[in-house]
Amino acid sequence: MVIFLITPFNLLTGVMKAQAVVQLLEYPTAGQVLINELMWPGSIPNGPSDEWVELKNTTGGDLNLGLCYLTKNTDGQADVTMVSLPQGAIITAGGYYLISNFAESSSAINIAPNLVDNSLTLDNNNLLIKLYCPPEAVVGTVGEFDILIDIAGDGSAPLAGSNDTIKK
């Protein structure tokens, strides 16, 4: 983590003004953020689209998730970007970052998600989700240099649960 202290100084009066602290958080590397939970079958009464992904920070420091993204692979060929995290997205030390298809008021989840994005769709038959983040040195360039942080699924049907019996 890089911390800058900004101390404005008035040359005419010789008085220092209040300090501002700006933190530039590091991006995670492989294994520092995990795809911790997937809710893929939906819920009652909200239907099969009531899905979410929970990320877990395994470190003792806050991490920058801005410009990180989740991909899905449903055809066994190429990864497709499913959700892009906004600039300013932070996952706290030891904390969670919840991405949901619906807001708390329209979902079976009982907590407000960090990000609501209706492009979140989890395949019920071919589940393979990946989390990518940019490396520190090339922030702003998408794709070519991005680091694979974690993978959930192997491209086959999810190991547990059923979309036939949607949970409450």
pLDDT digits (tens, 9 = 90+) for 42-83: 776 777 778 889 999 999 999 999 989 999 987 777 889 999
pTM exceeds 0.95, yes or no? no
> Among 14-18, 85-89, 119-123, which is the least confidently predicted range?
14-18
State how far the Cα of 103 lies from the Cα of 118, in Å rounded to an integer. Answer: 10
Q: Quick check: 133 and 115 in contact, CB under 8 A?
A: no
Mean pLDDT: which of 8-17, 75-84, 131-140, 142-151 is highest? 75-84
Provide the 8-state DSSP code for 142.
Answer: -
Q: What is the DSSP string of 40-84?
A: -S-BTTTBTT--EEEEEE-SSS-EE-TT-EEEE-SSSS--EEEEE
Calculate the average pLDDT of the chain: 79
State how far the Cα of 135 lies from the Cα of 29, in Å rounded to an integer. Answer: 8
